[in-house]
């Protein structure tokens, strides 16, 4: 059996023609085609933003070309037969969340089809399935050895037993556990399961200690899609720009169904600046700083009494997971939750309680801050935990 995209995408969406406007053909001259305000913005803006009375570019080819060039250059996949990524491999969304929703809407019939997720994982997959009336099948990650890797045999068995599953979502590096999922296992999954699409969510990929983005492999595996965002390593969460890398046929479908002007002119301008060589170097420097601080914070916090002496999950994201122990030396949600609340209310340090996630009992997820923020975190964490132990 070979992969056939037309059998995966809902028929009306597969045959959907993208919204077109006169601006697709003519971009210069007296523009009287889109019912825009010809007088410009009604508020005073600087020269750089004087064109805000015009609709943004619906295709964003310049940005797509730059981000694919970056991922091609960084790729660990140097197969001479592997076709390089181009702008035709990309669909942009308002953050990764729009991309997740688009994939579910395009592939899953409401009330009939399903997706498969691997807890503990990102919560928006389940939120989107609820909104779209799609069922979620859960095959947990391997937690017993603290690897938080995909249980490939169990995933394949679930897929063989349930042909209504159309999408598999894998967070790599994982959220909330920070572990990079073995890329070879993901490739094996795409090879053995041609009946749906494997979606790899790489929001944190630039922080991974080894391995690079799988995005170039979408031209090798047509049933692979890779999600990324400018929110994390590029520090641009506020512009809400996410990317789906996919085979050209799948990218065509996703671009046909998106809102025509979903990426604002302001977001586009900032995203293009982020792709300038000097700003990419700054991104790399901040990633290096986070990586160094990550080890420091981990070592300091795991040396404390009533925390586990090893990290939970991996060190491939811009956060760590710490397990809090009770007086009996076992993982304790009660203590972890009390620590979470006291840090937020008394020390004004907000971390994330993750103790109710599968395999994460007693866990706090802590984003790596600046050196100064981490100094304060370490001091307050130790003092607050000591007070809870009295």
Rounded Cα distance, 310 and 298, in Å: 8
Q: Which residues lie across from 197 on neighbouring strands?
A: 167
Instruction: Report residue 32: phi and psi, to 5°.
Output: -120, 30
For 40, the enclosing helix (H) or strand (E) is none
Rounded Cα distance, 117 and 127, in Å: 12
Q: Where in the chain is the domain with CATH 3.40.640.10?
A: 5-19+58-275
**DSSP-derived 3-state class of residue 4:** coil
Contact 360, 312 (CB under 8 A): yes
Please indicate whether residue 96 or residue 210 has the higher confidence score (pLDDT): 96
Alpha carbon of residue 212 to chain centroid: 14
**Is the CATH number 1.25.40.80 carried by domain 5-19+58-275?**
no
pLDDT digits (tens, 9 = 90+) for 109-149: 999 999 999 999 999 999 999 999 999 999 999 999 999 99
Q: Which residues lie across from 149 on neighbouring strands?
A: 142
In this prediction, residues 63-83 reach a mean pLDDT of 89
pLDDT digits (tens, 9 = 90+) for 235-263: 999 999 999 999 999 999 999 999 989 99
Q: Where in the chain is the domain with CATH 3.90.1150.10?
A: 280-389
Please indicate whether residue 325 or residue 211 has the higher confidence score (pLDDT): 325
For 97, the enclosing helix (H) or strand (E) is helix 95-107
Strand pairing category for 197-201 and 224-229: parallel
Asked if residue 11 has pLDDT above 70, the reply is yes
Q: Residue 80 has what pLDDT? A: 65
Confidence of residue 63 (pLDDT cuts 50, 70, 90): very high
Rounded Cα distance, 221 and 135, in Å: 25
In this prediction, residues 155-163 reach a mean pLDDT of 98
Q: Residue 310 has what pLDDT? A: 73
Confidence of residue 212 (pLDDT cuts 50, 70, 90): confident
DSSP character for 325?
Answer: B
CATH ID of 280-389, from 1.10.579.10, 3.30.420.40, 2.40.128.110, 3.90.1150.10: 3.90.1150.10
Would you put residue 35 in left (φ > 0), alpha (ψ -120 to 50) or beta? left
In this prediction, residues 207-219 reach a mean pLDDT of 92
What is the value of pTM for the model shown?
A: 0.95
Supply the mean pLDDT for the chain.
94
Asked if residue 47 has pLDDT above 80, the reply is no
Contact 166, 107 (CB under 8 A): yes
Structure tokens at 189: 């999954």
Rounded Cα distance, 226 and 242, in Å: 11
Q: Residue 249 has what pLDDT? A: 97
Asked if residue 298 has pLDDT above 90, the reply is yes
């Amino acid at each position: 059996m070979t992969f056939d995209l037309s059998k995966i995408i809902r028929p009306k969406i597969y045959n959907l023609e993208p919204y077109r406007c006169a601006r697709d053909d003519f971009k210069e001259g007296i523009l009287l085609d889109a019912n825009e305000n010809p007088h410009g913005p009604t508020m005073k803006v600087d020269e750089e933003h004087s064109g805000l009375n015009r609709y943004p570019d619906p295709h964003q080819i310049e940005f797509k070309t730059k981000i694919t060039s970056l991922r091609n250059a960084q790729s660990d996949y140097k197969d001479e037969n592997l076709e390089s990524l181009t702008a035709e491999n990309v669909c942009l969304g308002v953050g990764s969340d729009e991309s997740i929703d688009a994939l579910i809407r395009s592939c899953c019939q409401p009330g009939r089809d399903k997706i498969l997720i691997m807890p503990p994982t990102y919560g928006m997959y389940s939120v989107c399935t609820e909104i779209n009336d799609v069922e979620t099948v859960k095959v947990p990650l391997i937690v017993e050895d603290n690897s938080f890797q995909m249980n490939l045999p169990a995933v394949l068995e679930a897929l063989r037993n349930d042909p209504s599953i159309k999408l598999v979502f894998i967070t790599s590096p994982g959220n909330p556990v920070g572990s990079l999922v073995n890329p070879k296992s993901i490739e094996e999954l795409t090879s053995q399961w041609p009946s749906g699409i494997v979606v790899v969510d790489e929001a944190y990929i630039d922080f991974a200690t080894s391995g690079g983005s799988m995005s170039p492999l979408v031209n090798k595996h047509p049933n692979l899609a890779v999600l990324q965002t400018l929110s994390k390593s590029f520090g641009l969460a506020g512009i809400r720009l996410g990317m789906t890398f996919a085979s050209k046929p799948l990218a065509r479908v996703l671009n046909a169904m998106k809102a025509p002007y979903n990426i604002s002119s302001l977001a586009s301008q900032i995203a293009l600046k982020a792709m300038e060589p000097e700003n990419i170097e700054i991104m790399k420097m901040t990633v290096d700083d986070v990586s160094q601080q990550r080890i420091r914070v981990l070592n300091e916090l795991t040396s404390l009494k009533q925390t586990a002496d090893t990290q939970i999950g991996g060190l491939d994201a811009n956060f760590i997971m710490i397990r809090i122990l009770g007086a009996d030396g076992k993982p304790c949600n009660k203590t972890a939750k009390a620590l979470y609340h006291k840090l937020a209310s008394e020390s004004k340090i907000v971390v994330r309680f993750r103790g109710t996630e599968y395999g994460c009992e007693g866990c706090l997820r802590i984003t790596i801050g600046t050196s100064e923020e981490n100094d304060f975190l370490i001091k307050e964490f130790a003092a607050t935990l000591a007070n809870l132990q009295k």
